[in-house]
């Protein structure tokens, strides 16, 4: 299947600094695609090139067979929901949503029909005559969404769609926003620095750093099988351990690190003796007071600190070599008789499928 939107080897050069560096992406129709990265990674520049506010220094952007290069922002079949919304402060909610339709020269009764439908879609029926400053942050966000969907764009761009909302509201809105976009069926590219936002909303994620795309994949794929140390470290929490590959068989391999020996339940493409990194997520490690019988996949350490998050607690262990190990334990019971506290010496252990072996 040919991609609906394809970004082909796009470069954006800001006086010698490559904000976007040879990026290629294929995005399918109906997909919610997230560009994830920390600030300055080039994700916003890429989005602005899609919207037409910046022109690529080289490369092509093709939407549904049409090259966007020569198209002005106002003639592209693309609409954007801006960061902190950029609602027109002097216009009412109704006029904000109607703005794009009026520019199309749509007939008045049709505009009214469309705006009402949009207001209904975002559940703001009674707010048509309010001004943006009379709305809460969540309501403003919905007006912005309605405004960007009103023209039924072929591509919807979201710039940090939930960045201006507080945490509680953000979680509710993530699901609501995703449902609306899915129902409308519009193809969507969003930019975010918030990995939770990307993972809950997107069908696929592209992790960006320094103008390049490091990995593209479904949320679970990016989280569970990161391609590089950077991606493993950037998405979620991770323990990274450097070690030497000592055994490499088709069905398993062994990696020796300073504090432990890893027995990994699959082979890797490498040569024995090479240096590799092992990444293990904190929630895949278990704690016990007694030494596990198996000599592999265990490490002994002292609890240096613990962070209580309510549903889970993160223990920071100091291993014999001085390396730190983060272990996340779900708080399944309200009180435990044998609670592990700071200063205790404990064993950490994990299964043979917990690892990701990284060679780059």
Residues engaged in binding another protein (CB under 8 A): 51-53, 72-75, 78-80, 82-83, 86-90, 99-100, 103-104, 130-131, 133-134, 147-148, 151
Q: Which C-beta is closer to another protein: that of 155 or that of 346? A: 155
Q: How far apart are CA 338 and CA 350, in angstroms?
A: 20
Q: How far apart are CA 70 and CA 21, in angstroms?
A: 21
Vertex 287: Cα angle to 285 and 290 (nearest 5):
135
Smallest gap from Cβ 317 to another protein, in A, equals 35
Tell me which residue of 81, 98, 83, 89 sits closest to 132, measured CA to CA: 89
Smallest gap from Cβ 100 to another protein, in A, equals 3
Cβ(217)–Cβ(204) below 8 Å:
yes
Helix (H) / strand (E) element for 157: namely: strand 155-159
Smallest gap from Cβ 126 to another protein, in A, equals 15
Q: How far apart are CA 126 and CA 336, in angstroms?
A: 51
Tell me which residue of 146, 227, 156 sits closest to 186, measured CA to CA: 156
Q: Which C-beta is closer to another protein: that of 79 or that of 141? A: 79
Smallest gap from Cβ 325 to another protein, in A, equals 37
Smallest gap from Cβ 272 to another protein, in A, equals 56
3-class SS of residue 126: helix
Q: How far apart are CA 324 and CA 239, in angstroms?
A: 8
Q: How far apart are CA 155 and CA 71, in angstroms?
A: 14
Q: How many CB atoms lie within 10 A of CB 134?
A: 12
CA atoms within 13 A on the CB side of 252: 12
Smallest gap from Cβ 134 to another protein, in A, equals 5
Q: How far apart are CA 172 and CA 190, in angstroms?
A: 18
Alpha-carbon distances, residue 329 vs 286, 313, 338, 339, 348 (angstroms): 7, 5, 14, 11, 11
Smallest gap from Cβ 133 to another protein, in A, equals 7
Cβ(238)–Cβ(200) below 8 Å:
no
Q: Which C-beta is closer to another protein: that of 100 or that of 226? A: 100
3-class SS of residue 167: helix
Q: Which C-beta is closer to another protein: that of 103 or that of 336? A: 103
Cβ(206)–Cβ(31) below 8 Å:
no
Q: How far apart are CA 279 and CA 136, in angstroms?
A: 42
Smallest gap from Cβ 69 to another protein, in A, equals 17
Q: Which C-beta is closer to another protein: that of 51 or that of 235? A: 51
Q: Which C-beta is closer to another protein: that of 80 or that of 317? A: 80
Q: Which C-beta is closer to another protein: that of 72 or that of 338? A: 72
Residue indicated by tokens 């479904």:
218
Smallest gap from Cβ 301 to another protein, in A, equals 37
Smallest gap from Cβ 116 to another protein, in A, equals 18
Cβ(56)–Cβ(211) below 8 Å:
no
């Amino acid at each position: 299947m040919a991609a609906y939107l394809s970004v082909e080897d796009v470069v954006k050069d800001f006086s010698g600094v490559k904000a976007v560096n040879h990026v290629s992406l294929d995005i399918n129709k109906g997909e919610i695609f997230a560009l994830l990265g920390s600030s300055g990674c080039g994700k916003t520049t890429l989005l602005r090139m899609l919207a037409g506010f910046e022109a690529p220094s080289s490369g092509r952007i093709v939407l549904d067979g049409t090259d966007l290069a020569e198209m002005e922002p106002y003639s592209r079949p693309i609409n954007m929901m801006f960061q902190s919304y950029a609602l027109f402060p002097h216009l009412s909610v109704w006029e904000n949503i109607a703005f794009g339709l009026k520019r199309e020269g749509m007939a008045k009764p049709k505009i009214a029909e469309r705006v009402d439908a949009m207001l209904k879609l975002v559940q703001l029926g009674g707010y048509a005559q309010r001004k943006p400053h009379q709305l809460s942050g969540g309501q403003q966000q919905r007006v912005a969404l309605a405004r960007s969907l009103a023209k039924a764009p072929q591509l919807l761009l979201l710039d940090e769609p939930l960045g201006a909302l507080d945490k509680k509201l953000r979680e509710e809105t993530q699901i609501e926003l995703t449902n609306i976009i899915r129902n409308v069926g519009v193809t969507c590219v969003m930019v975010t620095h918030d990995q939770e936002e990307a993972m809950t909303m997107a069908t696929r994620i592209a992790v960006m750093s320094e103008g390049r795309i490091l990995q593209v994949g479904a949320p679970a794929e990016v989280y569970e099988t990161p391609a590089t140390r950077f991606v493993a470290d950037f998405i979620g929490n991770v323990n990274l351990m450097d070690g030497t590959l000592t055994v490499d068989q088709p069905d398993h391999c062994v990696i020796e690190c300073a504090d432990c020996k890893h027995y990994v339940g699959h082979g890797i493409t490498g040569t024995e003796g090479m240096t590799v990194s092992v990444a293990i997520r904190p929630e895949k490690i278990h704690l016990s007071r007694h030494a596990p019988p198996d000599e592999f996949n265990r490490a002994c350490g002292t609890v240096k600190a613990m962070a209580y998050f309510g549903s889970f607690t993160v223990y920071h262990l100091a291993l014999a070599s001085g390396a730190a190990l983060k272990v996340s334990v779900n708080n399944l019971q309200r009180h435990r008789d044998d609670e592990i506290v700071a200063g205790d010496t404990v064993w950490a252990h994990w299964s043979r499928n917990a690892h990701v072996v990284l060679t780059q």
